[in-house]
Structure 1
Amino acid sequence: MKLRVGADVGGTFTDIVLVSDDGSIFEFGKILTTPRQPDDAIIEGVDRVLTAAAADRAGVESIVHGTTLFTNALIERKGARTAMITTKGFRDAVEIAREHRYEIYDLRIKRPNPLAPRRLRFELDERMLADGTVRKSLDDDDVRALVKQLVRDGVEAVGVSLFHSYVNDAHERRVGEILAEDAPHISVSLSCDLVPEIGEYMRGSTVLANVYVKRIAEGYLKRLRERAVSEAGLKAPLFIIQSDGGLCDIEEAAQKPIRLIESGPVGGALAAAHYGALLGYPDILAFDMGGTTAKACVIADGEPLITNEFEVDRQYQFKKHSGLPVKVPVVEMIEIGTGGGSVARVDAMKRLRVGPDSSGAEPGPACYGRGGDEPTVTDANLVLGYLDPDFFLGGRMKLDVERARNVIQRKIADPLGLSPVEAAYGIHQLANESMASAARIHTIERGKNIATFPLFATGGAGPMHAYGVASILRCPSVGYPLGAGVMSALGFLTAPISTSLARSRPRQLKHLDWEETGRLIEEMKAEARTVVAQAVGDEDLTFKVFADMRYVLQGSEVRVPIEIDDFERSRCDEVMCAFEQVYTSIYGHTMNADAEVVSWRVVAQGRRPELVLKSTQEGAPRTVEAAVKGRRDIYISEVKQMQPVNVYDRYLLPPGATFEGPAIVEERESTVVINGSATVSVDEYCNLVVNLKHAG
């Protein structure tokens, strides 16, 4: 029997999942993250689930890991002392950035500072033209003199981004060679390796972000691999989940850690896509809420939407254009600064605020009793009766109700003239409204009608808030998988080995040289095949081709799938038709204008692993009544008061069972809160399906 392990390190909790290829083993666990040494929690968690399942460690075939470690290093500015080398005249491009203003009337808007300060941004007197010809040659002596300056300045990492290196990388590669010869102790990243695409600002920003965390990635992944063998007794290969939902080996991950920027959150979207296909829902809204943030992702036609840009460290309420942009393929998610640990406060105008700051794992919410003294969403849920203080994490961690009530009374209820329960519900509902608003905007921007999308709830806090969010959005139903609290880690196990490549060759569609384009695509496929084959061989390898397209004179592109095998003749009409279909789905119309291709993309993908889920629970009681573990007072939104409801044991609910809400359903890693009218059913895979009853 073959086993696979998924490990997701979040800001508050670390989730571990163990599954077998035949579905007979499905074991999972959740423990507090160890921020100072994240691999401590992984090793402990893996050992715990293997022991609980009485599994043979030699049977573990692979380990898949996702983490927000590198994102956090960028946000907290805990990376290497980083310098930048660029073409003369462009040293300030990464600071000038673009003209987007996230608050057009605010004259004091804040943006994240460049990862390389101005004094560590250096220029070389060289120039490559847009067609790849050399206007001014690179002088090796200038480069060597600059390297000596870097050493004197104590630089630990260098990002190299020369003008037009995406079309001719000769100068950039020579700079990399000299750095390796004269200063081998300095980490180096070249933009031509990471993002060979047009746009000097995005290339510069991306290469700086990559090299800034490169040493952290190399050290962390090496240490994790060694500890997995020496302490956990696991000799299976270690794979890392990338931001676009594919896997890579640790060598590739260590060289390109920027591709792991959304490594952790993507698991929930992958799980939603897998379960949606299983249950016959190709279109679904994935909703993942953890201890620090919540994420929403549109699953369309069974696949998460992919974008080519992402922002790290957004400065103002997670607003678009307020962060540090990087150009990497990433599952398109909207992130909201609302999680179980999000801090609630009353501002100077007597308004209740929730987030975006979080109590994290240390000290955590006040009810954890670990020194936290700020009211959080988790404290509010405890006061509302949604959490059992004696069954948090399956009873392994006790929560202090009085401590939560007192901190809400003192810091929220008294200043607003409310009771502790009213204040707690205000916190809970404001969190719901914030997440629903962000999800609505996200789907509208993608041309989707959210009211037709079922919600799929994952994350430790997601099942507590999904009913409220779905009610606001008027979604028809909510799905809660068994093990929702660790579903990101399970989603990792549905990901295939993959890599994606891009090449910018801006051309108007009517002027494209199709033979040249065909050669470019074949070169990209060959390179992608080499990368993927290092991990899994080239068996069952599939390729997808995309074009970044726009109308002439537009400033942004849309990603267009290109289903063409033969580029030896003109395919203008077919490509234009595909472009207009995508454009219409987003904007609702097309334009009477010529189109152009800015970049070509190739995605190489290995076979998607099968994830077998048990369709029944042997020995489970056949009545709903036997699954009732008691009754508890919870706050009911429809009547705005506390009322007793049934509390169900998730593990004892048999497939085919139905009951009515309001109700609470408890499992070790999460709690499903249905605090209003709904019909609840259990499907053959033990998923809860809640059909909402919307008023009006």
Structure 2
Amino acid sequence: MSERFYRLGCDIGGTFTDFVLLNDRTGEIKINKCLTTPSDPSDAVEQGIRQLEEANPDFVRDLDEVIHGTTLVINSIIERKGAKTGLITTKGFRDVLELGREIRYAPYDIFAEFPEPLIPRRFRLEVDERVRSDGTVIKPLDRAEARDVVRRLIDMGVESVAVCLLNSFEYPSHELIIKEIIEDEAPDIPVSISYEVLPQIREYERTSTTVTNAYVKPLTGRYLSKLSGRLVTIGFKGKLFIMLSSGGITSVETAAEFPVRIIESGPTAAVISGQYYGKLFDISEMFCFDMGGTTAKSCLIQKGVAGVVPTFEVGRVQRFMKGSGLTIQVPVVDLMEIGAGGGSIAKVSKMGTLQVGPESSGADPGPICYGRGGTEPGITDADLLLGYLDEDYFLGGDMKLDREAARRGIEEKIARPLGVSLIQAIWGIHDLINETMAGAAKTHIAEKGGNPKIV
């Protein structure tokens, strides 16, 4: 049994990084919060731990484990800030990401929207190979052709590559050969092959999931590597675990290789916490809601349990309707997430209407009122002017907010272009984001068979 008696929970969000320190001997809990450092998220982790050490000297040497959750992965997908990714697929399957499933989520809506694929068509290349559903090879892979395709992607400047060939879950040799070629031609480019990410039937789901894994793999790999190194540097000798979207935990190595499994790791930890407190207070029906700096998450707990589903969607574009998002097939706690948070940017759309989100100013530069160089008004600026936030006690008093800068920003960027008063613009931002989050929450509750009016 370990002699170390501290445990640390750490969540890296798009705007803030949060800490909870538990002393297993005394039951004492300490919390801390600091701004996320987007260029290197591990900076914020070290900063937060150093601040905790001021009240708990040398606690790191007695730290048994760190359990880490993050929304950086999901935020990079929603905001489309992942790696420049290429896809290699079987001849004739280049457009599977657009085609998806034949069933339309709104068959009578001629204006129904679908999300843009994470990989533009020009970065999706084919190889002339074919395998039957039973694994029988119809046309072998031409190594020379495969190498040529790989080189073309490298010349295009891709930062990550996804490989998804027809029926590779039955016959993975062709994918493994392509992976070997990529590692030979460009050893620094991360590779995600569907046989390793999701070796299951259904081409669209397998391709979409593998592409998502490749899209976030460089970002996730870099920050987990730096995080592990930073913890070792400050004297941590315990175990580091990463929260899975399903509610379990995994190693840093597995999370870095399959980041698609930790897409909802931060929100999932919050849902599990809500489920725990529901049981503690004998509340079996609960609605959990979390508005962060970049995204808002909601989950319905029924009969004391948060459901886990095998497939979920990210970034729904059509009134939060099921079927209008990016499909990802990994076990995940059943929740809904949208691009609405404290850092969500407000702007006037091309149609001359007010639009809020999904883009976020994050922690750097952040909203205008942070005084860190931000020029786009957002939710935090509006909430400050409405009196919901204390300009002198933000982040526990460690950060002062600039009320006048927020006022100027909304006046110049929103009120004047729309031809409305300042107070109308402020309330417009506030009301629109609330309606957006409420609409998403109602949709999620209704999909689970609940009644939004009584939950």
Change (3 A) 1:171 1:424: closer
Question: What does 1:666-685 align with in structure 2 at a 5 Å threshold?
Answer: none
CA deviation after TM superposition for structure 1 residue 252, in Å: 0.9
Specify every segment of 5 or more residues in structure 2 that has no aligned partner in the other structure, as ranges.
Answer: none
Specify the SS of the correspondent of 1:265: helix
Question: Which residue is equivalent to 1:66?
Answer: 69
Task: Quote the Cα distance in structure 2 between the aligned partners of 1:438 and 1:339.
Answer: 13
Change (3 A) 1:113 1:104: farther
Specify the SS of the correspondent of 2:265: coil
Per-residue displacement from partner, 1:53-106 (whole Å, max 9, x unpaired)?
33521211111122233334444354154231x334323323433343669655
Give me the TM-score of the superposition, normalised by structure 2: 0.86
Give me the TM-score of the superposition, normalised by structure 1: 0.58
CA deviation after TM superposition for structure 1 residue 279, in Å: 1.7
User: Paired residue for 1:300, among 292, 299, 302?
Assistant: 302
Change (3 A) 1:296 1:117: same
Specify the SS of the correspondent of 1:76: coil
Task: Quote the Cα distance in structure 2 between the aligned partners of 1:360 and 1:323.
Answer: 23
Task: Quote the Cα distance in structure 2 between the aligned partners of 1:417 and 1:172.
Answer: 58
Aligned-residue Cα RMSD (Å) equals 3.1
Per-residue displacement from partner, 1:422-441 (whole Å, max 9, x unpaired)?
55344333332322222111
Question: Which residue is equivalent to 2:366?
Answer: 364
Question: What does 1:277-292 align with in structure 2 at a 5 Å threshold?
Answer: 277-292=279-294
**Alignment pair present for 1:37 and 2:37:** no
CA deviation after TM superposition for structure 1 residue 322, in Å: 4.2
Which amino acid letter does the alignment assign opposite residue 42 of structure 1? Answer: V
Which amino acid letter does the alignment assign opposite residue 344 of structure 2? Answer: S
CA deviation after TM superposition for structure 1 residue 128, in Å: 2.1
**Alignment pair present for 1:198 and 2:209:** no
Question: Which residue is equivalent to 1:150?
Answer: 150
CA deviation after TM superposition for structure 1 residue 378, in Å: 1.8
Per-residue displacement from partner, 1:225-263 (whole Å, max 9, x unpaired)?
111111x22122211111222110011112111111222
User: Paired residue for 2:83, among 54, 79, 83?
Assistant: 79
Q: Conserved in 1, the CA contact under 8 Å of 2:85 and 2:162?
A: no
User: Paired residue for 2:116, among 112, 115, 129?
Assistant: 112
Q: Conserved in 2, the CA contact under 8 Å of 1:81 and 1:156?
A: yes
Which amino acid letter does the alignment assign opposite residue 334 of structure 2? Answer: E
**Alignment pair present for 1:160 and 2:163:** yes
Task: Quote the Cα distance in structure 2 between the aligned partners of 1:134 and 1:128.
Answer: 5
CA deviation after TM superposition for structure 1 residue 159, in Å: 2.6
Specify the SS of the correspondent of 2:126: strand
Question: Which residue is equivalent to 2:253?
Answer: 251
Question: Which residue is equivalent to 2:222?
Answer: 219
Specify every segment of 5 or more residues in structure 1 that has no aligned partner in the other structure, as ranges.
Answer: 454-696
Specify the SS of the correspondent of 2:346: strand
Change (3 A) 1:406 1:449: same
**Alignment pair present for 1:128 and 2:132:** yes
Per-residue displacement from partner, 1:607-657 (whole Å, max 9, x unpaired)?
xxxxxxxxxxxxxxxxxxxxxxxxxxxxxxxxxxxxxxxxxxxxxxxxxxx
Question: Which residue is equivalent to 1:525?
Answer: none
Question: Which residue is equivalent to 1:689?
Answer: none
Task: Quote the Cα distance in structure 1 between the aligned partners of 2:394 and 2:342.
Answer: 13
Change (3 A) 1:204 1:269: same
Equivalent pairs, count = 446
Change (3 A) 1:426 1:199: same
Change (3 A) 1:433 1:23: farther
Question: Which residue is equivalent to 1:241?
Answer: 243
Change (3 A) 1:159 1:303: same
CA deviation after TM superposition for structure 1 residue 334, in Å: 1.8
Question: Quick check: 408-417 or 239-248, which moved more?
Answer: 408-417
Change (3 A) 1:371 1:102: farther
Task: Quote the Cα distance in structure 2 between the aligned partners of 1:341 and 1:156.
Answer: 28
Which amino acid letter does the alignment assign opposite residue 367 of structure 1? Answer: C
Of structures 1 and 2, the larger Rg is shown by 1
User: Paired residue for 1:26, among 16, 26, 29?
Assistant: 29
Task: Quote the Cα distance in structure 2 between the aligned partners of 1:342 and 1:183.
Answer: 37
Which amino acid letter does the alignment assign opposite residue 214 of structure 2? Answer: V
Identity of aligned residues (%): 42
Specify the SS of the correspondent of 1:372: coil
Q: Conserved in 1, the CA contact under 8 Å of 2:208 and 2:327?
A: yes
Task: Quote the Cα distance in structure 2 between the aligned partners of 1:366 and 1:179.
Answer: 44
Which amino acid letter does the alignment assign opposite residue 274 of structure 2? Answer: A
Question: Which residue is equivalent to 1:326?
Answer: 328
Q: Conserved in 2, the CA contact under 8 Å of 1:92 and 1:118?
A: no
**Going by fraction, where is strand more abundant, 1 or 2?**
1
Q: Conserved in 2, the CA contact under 8 Å of 1:242 and 1:263?
A: yes
Q: Conserved in 2, the CA contact under 8 Å of 1:259 and 1:328?
A: yes
**Alignment pair present for 1:386 and 2:388:** yes
Which amino acid letter does the alignment assign opposite residue 306 of structure 2? Answer: P
Change (3 A) 1:198 1:348: closer
Higher RCO (C-alpha under 8 Å, 6+ residues apart)? 2
**Alignment pair present for 1:96 and 2:99:** yes
User: Paired residue for 2:343, among 341, 356, 360?
Assistant: 341
